[in-house]
Structure 1
Amino acid sequence: MGRHALGLGALAVLLAACGSTAGGQADGPATAQPGPTLTRSTTPTPAASPVPSSTESSAEAGIDGCVTEKTGELFEYKRGGTTTKGVIMGKGPVGVVVSYERQGTVCTWLPLADRLVAAGHRVLLFDRNNTAAPEEDTVAMAGRLRKAGAEKVFLVGGSMGGRVSLLAAGELKPPPAGVISISGTIQPGEVDELRAPFLQVTGDADPDAPLDMLQVVYNEAVKSADRQLLVLSGGDHASRLFTGDQGPKALQAVVAFIEKHKG
């Protein structure tokens, strides 16, 4: 799928991935096809524990102070001279690879990971490898999940991680069972060839993922087997959607989408 640059002023904002504040109260999530339906609704992200000392072993040190060997199966992945740590949580035939936002961490995605594990799925979280073509890391993580026993793999990402997940979907063989973009900074023209089911989740007041841009992306994803755009009230961005007042709705939307398309 192509990578076209936007000539819009909003693109600069799209490519910056930072959190925002929450909005008002909600009645219930709305899935819009073909256009978004707004639902009115508006738990801060828990702070990470102190990072363990560098003298600890890799397994003991874990990831970002919030993931240890008790969380799941820890691993290391090396590419381009950089070592990336990751963890596979849970069991089951369905696997989910999470790619986080620019200012996110593995820790900020644990609420979603825990929910998916509780639903009987495997989840792979990994520290971002800050090299070129980050989608290659996501493709490699999907392969790791498949080797671990996952028969179907979904790609989930927040903000820039949503775009990374989409780009990885075009390289993954076999293709993913679905792509889920949370406040994703996907550019128009990048979804032209996407055939996998596609869920976008965003807040209607999120300045870093403007709703009009997500609507353009939704309208262009005509080859997707099942395109959905869920608009929640408020300005929470990426992983913050899971810990704010809209958290239950955002979490349920992701779980329901995976259940629908896991086969």
Structure 2
Amino acid sequence: MTLLAGCGGEGDSKSSDKPSDSSDSSATSADTGDAEMPVCVEGDQWSALSSAGPSGITAGDGKLAVVFANTADGTECDWYDYAETLVDDGHRVAAWNYDIADGPVEDRLAELDSVVSQMRKAGSAKVFVIGGSRGGCLALLDAAKNSDVSGVAVLSCAKVWNRVDPTPLAKHLPKVTVPVLSVIAATDPDVPLAEAKADLMALGSKDKELLVIKGSSEHGTALLGSTKVTAALDRFIAAAKMRP
């Protein structure tokens, strides 16, 4: 188990489980020929996820895939810039949207499972899930039961999935045995640092790390504005290549 602390990087700004500025551009879409893509998408390497599952976008063809799970009111555009760097590094990525953000957690897990399965069927031997806020806790719940998930990175979530209609994580965390990276701002207004530390201790995984961004109150995908965070995610994904 590792506990790290990093200083907030340039570009950090206050947020509370709301989509970053890039999400505003997804309100309209651009026609790519086969399907309408969010306007944040550039180039022809991106395509829509299978129409048989949740909506979203995918790109890349690597043996290692990363699936992004949104904040409650986020969109695929919140992940786009970072996802592009992973594609450039030779990985497959997918960013999906909840059918609805609320409702039974089982329904949201089924959506996430569908996207993970698509990545496996596309040829990725390992599939990691990076979730922001509510999506991070959903990723942990999924890893507790889904053997197709190879690892999880959590940005700003602890204790419960959906604090409005909470599903406690406590009984599920010991079942999570895959590698986990948890990232949280030291003064996150929505998720107390003590909760993130407690969740890390409860995980069944022996490969787990908590990165605390000092001097920051960023939440969810807003943390991607810190180079400390993206560098930690890069290391976490790169380490997967060394694992069986």
With normalisation by structure 2, the TM-score equals: 0.80
Cα deviation digits, residues 121-143 of structure 1 (max 9, x gap): 11111121115320111111000
Give the structure 2 partner of residue 196 of structure 1.
178
SS class of match (2:140)? helix
Which residue does 2:157 correspond to in 1?
184
Check whether the contact 1:115–1:251 (CA below 8 A) recurs between aligned residues: no
Give the one of 88, 107, 132 matched to 1:118: 88
Larger Rg: 1
Deviations 1:189-229 (A, max 9, x none): 131111101110111011112100000001111x2030110
Deviations along 1:95-147, one digit per CA (max 9) or x if unpaired, are 01110101221111112211211221111111211153201111110000011
Task: Report the more deviating stretch, 180-189 or 112-121.
Answer: 180-189
**Contact 1:102-1:159 within 8 A present in 2 as well:** yes
1:171 paired to 2:153: no
1:57-76 matched pairs, under 5 angstroms: 59-63=34-38, 65-67=39-41, 70-76=44-50
| Letter in structure 1 aligned against 2:90 | G
Distance 1:211 1:39 in 2: 14
Shift of 1:153: 0.6
Question: CA–CA distance in 2 between the matches of 1:74 and 1:39?
Answer: 36
Number of aligned residue pairs: 218
Query: 1:142-173 CA distances to partner (integer Å, 9 max, x unpaired)?
Result: 00001111011111101100011111112323
Structure 2 distance, partners of 1:181, 1:154, is 11
Does 2:112 correspond to 1:138?
A: yes
CA distance in 2, matches of 1:46, 1:238: 13
Structure 2 segments unaligned to the other structure (5+ residues): 14-19, 161-168
User: Are residue 154 (structure 1) and residue 150 (structure 2) matched?
Assistant: no
The residue number in structure 2 matching 1:230 is 211
Distance in 2, matches of 1:171 and 1:88, equals 24
**TM-score, normalised by the number of residues in structure 1:** 0.75
Q: Corresponding residue for 2:188?
A: 206
The answer to whether structure 1 residue 41 and structure 2 residue 8 are counterparts is: yes
Give the % identical residues. Answer: 26
Decide whether the 8 Å contact of 1:68 with 1:74 is kept in 2: no
Contact map agreement 2:35 2:48 (CA 8 A) in 1: no
Give, in whole Å, the separation in 2 of the partners of 1:75 and 1:227: 30
